[in-house]
C-alpha cells in the first residue's frame, strides 16, 4: 500500500463543510472527484479535522491509499488541475501505512480573525468575522485563561456533536489586536463540533461586558449548552495547523507563517506555541 498525505488549503465560503454530503457541495467531495479524474478510480480520503460550513483551512491534512504510485509533485500538479480555484493541494508526501490524518494528530491550531468596525466590509465578506460593538481586550484575555487545561466542554459543543467524550485539553488561547483586527489563536489536542465558534461567542460576551471571567468556571461546570452564549459566525475561522509525533515528518510550515503568507501583513504574531516534546 502506498499511503499518501496531502496538505489542503481552501476557502470554505462556497462549501457546506469538509464532509461529503449526499447532494450539497463539500470540500471532501471535490477532492475525491479530482482524485477520480486524476487516477481513474474512486479514492476515499480521511482528514485531520472536519471543518464546518464556511470555515477555511490553511493546512488541512488528509491521507489516502491510492491504487497508483505518483511523485509528490505529480500529486500536487495533477490534483490541482482538477480542483476549483477555492481548493488547492499545497504539498504531498508518502507516509507509513500506520499514519492516520485524524487519529495520529497530537495537536490542532485554529485562528479566528475578527474585525471591529461600525459597518461590515464587503471586501472581507466570508474571510473575517465582524462585530460593531467595542470590545475590551483584557476582559477577553482574562476569560480565555479559564478555558486552558483539561475540561468537560459539554457547554461549548454543538447539540449535534457525536464525539464519545466531551473532554478536551486546550493548550493555549491567545488574543492579539492590530488596528481594527483581532486575531484569536486556539490550540488544543482536538476540538468538539462548533467548539471554537462557541468559545468565540463566550469570549465576545466577556469583551462586551456581558459576563465576567469569573463566570467561565460556572459555565464549564454546568455542562449544558443552553447556559453558554450563542455560537459565533464561521466566517473568520481557519484551521491553521496540525501536529503529529516527531517521527512523522511532513512538509508543513508553522501555522503563524502560513497565516501571514495567505492573509497579509496585518496579521500580528501570537505568542509561541506551547512546548510539547512529543510533537514535531
Q: Name the residue among 52, 164, 151, 63 with its Cα closest to residue 110.
A: 52
CATH number of 4-103: 3.30.70.580
Delimiting residues of CATH 3.30.70.660 domain(s) in the chain: 108-240
Predicted pLDDT of residue 268: 54
192 vs 217: CA distance, rounded Å: 18
| Active-site residue identified among 52, 65, 96, 215 | 52
Helices of type H across the chain: 27-39, 72-80, 137-145, 195-208, 216-222, 255-263
| 152 part of the active site | no
Delimiting residues of CATH 3.30.70.580 domain(s) in the chain: 4-103
Predicted pLDDT of residue 168: 97
Q: Could you list the beta-strand ranges (E) of 117-273.
A: 129-131, 149-152, 167-178, 181-188, 237-244
SS3 state at 264:
coil
Containing 252, the helix (H) or strand (E) segment is none
Predicted pLDDT of residue 248: 81
Predicted pLDDT of residue 249: 82
**Contact assessment for residue 149 and residue 181, using Cβ atoms and an 8 Å cutoff:** no
Which CATH fold would you assign to the domain 108-240?
Alpha-Beta Plaits (3.30.70)
Going residue by residue through the chain (280 aa), what tens digit of pLDDT does each one get?
Answer: 689 999 999 999 999 999 999 899 999 999 999 999 999 999 999 999 999 999 999 999 999 999 999 999 999 999 999 999 999 999 999 999 999 999 999 999 999 999 999 999 998 888 999 999 999 999 999 999 999 999 999 999 998 888 899 999 999 999 999 889 999 999 999 999 999 999 999 999 999 999 999 999 999 999 999 999 999 999 999 999 999 987 788 887 777 777 777 776 555 544 444 445 444 3
Predicted pLDDT of residue 258: 78
**Contact assessment for residue 26 and residue 17, using Cβ atoms and an 8 Å cutoff:** yes
Task: Return the C-alpha cell found at 238.
Answer: 481557519
Amino acid at each position: 500500500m502506498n499511503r499518501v498525505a496531502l496538505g489542503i488549503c481552501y476557502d470554505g465560503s462556497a462549501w457546506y463543510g469538509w464532509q461529503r454530503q449526499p447532494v450539497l457541495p463539500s470540500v471532501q467531495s471535490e477532492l475525491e472527484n479530482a482524485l477520480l479524474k486524476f487516477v481513474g478510480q474512486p479514492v476515499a480520503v480521511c482528514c485531520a479535522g472536519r471543518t464546518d460550513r464556511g470555515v477555511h483551512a490553511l493546512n488541512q491534512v488528509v491521507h489516502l491509499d491510492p491504487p497508483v504510485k505518483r511523485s509528490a509533485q505529480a500529486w500536487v500538479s495533477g490534483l490541482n488541475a482538477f480542483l476549483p480555484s477555492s481548493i488547492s493541494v499545497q504539498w504531498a508526501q508518502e507516509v507509513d501505512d500506520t499514519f492516520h490524518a485524524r487519529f495520529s494528530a497530537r495537536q490542532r491550531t485554529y485562528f479566528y480573525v475578527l474585525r471591529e468596525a461600525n459597518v461590515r466590509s464587503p471586501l472581507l465578506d466570508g474571510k473575517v468575522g465582524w462585530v460593531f460593538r467595542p470590545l475590551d481586550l483584557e476582559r477577553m484575555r482574562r476569560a480565555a485563561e479559564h478555558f486552558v487545561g483539561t475540561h468537560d466542554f459539554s457547554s461549548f459543543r454543538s447539540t449535534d456533536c457525536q464525539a464519545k467524550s466531551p473532554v478536551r485539553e486546550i493548550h493555549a488561547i491567545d488574543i492579539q489586536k492590530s488596528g481594527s483586527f483581532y486575531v484569536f489563536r486556539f490550540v488544543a489536542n482536538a476540538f468538539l463540533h462548533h467548539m471554537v465558534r462557541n468559545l468565540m461567542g463566550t469570549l465576545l460576551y466577556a469583551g462586551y461586558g456581558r459576563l465576567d471571567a469569573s463566570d467561565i468556571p460556572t459555565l464549564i461546570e454546568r455542562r449544558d449548552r443552553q447556559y453558554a452564549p450563542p455560537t459565533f459566525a464561521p466566517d473568520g475561522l481557519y484551521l491553521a495547523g496540525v501536529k503529529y509525533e516527531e517521527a512523522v515528518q511532513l512538509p508543513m510550515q508553522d501555522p503563524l507563517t502560513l497565516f501571514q503568507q495567505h492573509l497579509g501583513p496585518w496579521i500580528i504574531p501570537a505568542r509561541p506555541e506551547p512546548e510539547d516534546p512529543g510533537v514535531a
